[in-house]
Structure 1
């Protein structure tokens, strides 16, 4: 019988290919803070556990959190807050830059929040791991959340207006 390999398999002419086990075939396990912490420690990253029990640290001067959300804490969210803030009057200009980012890229989601009379810029990457997560999947999400968040903050650094005055009434990080 001649023809494409898939057709021969469908018609019973070729044996079904067998999948060889690899290191990537580990079974998914439940998401846990310890697993996130182990990944961060394995990369040599420094972090602390805040008063809410969330892992948090600073990368390139900006604060990032590793949050477990959802009814069963099955959603991992890597959230970053840029070290810069903006005056309320700059909301429109900053909003345009954030909209451009969100329109042109998949990660991270970017958004603005008003906090203590200033505008703060956040990055966010989330994934639902209800069926569990492998170490490789966990590593990919944490790396994506940190890497794209830092990249976004760096890219916006030159685009957004700079006000070197310290923000009012914000505690030091």
Structure 2
């Protein structure tokens, strides 16, 4: 029957391989709780939390909420004058790595940097696949934001290579 979903948990057939089942927020939440992560559900029903001070969302996108996206937002915002330097850093990251996709948006007169890892799970996913995607989105996002801290010093920090007095 169209629109009917199977059980939320992966099941294991006699062959020993888990059967992919539909993606749900509950399954993502189960993974996050299992890792001891703190998160909440926002007004849109999305799971969200902070890792190393950066906000992350765990979004279900697509007509049937079959796309899992782990989206992170860097805790810092930058002045518009730094757009060229930020664009170079983002382009270098995206050229040299598969994950996460990184982009810059102008928000309220400042630059905001985002990371994204997305996967189409139209055919369902096992718990292990969900765990791997969430871990990839969080791990690579945090890594990218950390790398940016070294590449783009805060306004009150000395330029790279200059000793801090």
1:111 to 80, 103, 112: 103
The structure that has the greater radius of gyration is 1
Alpha-carbon offset, residue 156 of structure 1: 1.2
TM-score (norm 1): 0.81
Moved over 3 A (4+): none
Gaps of 5+ in 2: 1-13, 157-165
1:124 aligned residue: 116
2:138 aligned residue: 146
| Aligned residue pairs, count | 144
Aligned residues: CA RMSD:
1.3
1:47 aligned residue: 39
Match status 1:159 vs 2:145:
no
Alpha-carbon offset, residue 161 of structure 1: 3.4
Alpha-carbon offset, residue 21 of structure 1: 3.7
Gaps of 5+ in 1: 1-19, 165-173
1:65 to 57, 65, 70: 57
TM-score (norm 2): 0.85
2:71 aligned residue: 79
Distance 1:161 1:35 in 2: 38
1:4 aligned residue: none
Distance 2:15 2:121 in 1: 23
User: For 1:158, what is the secondary structure of its paired residue?
Assistant: helix
User: For 2:151, what is the secondary structure of its paired residue?
Assistant: coil
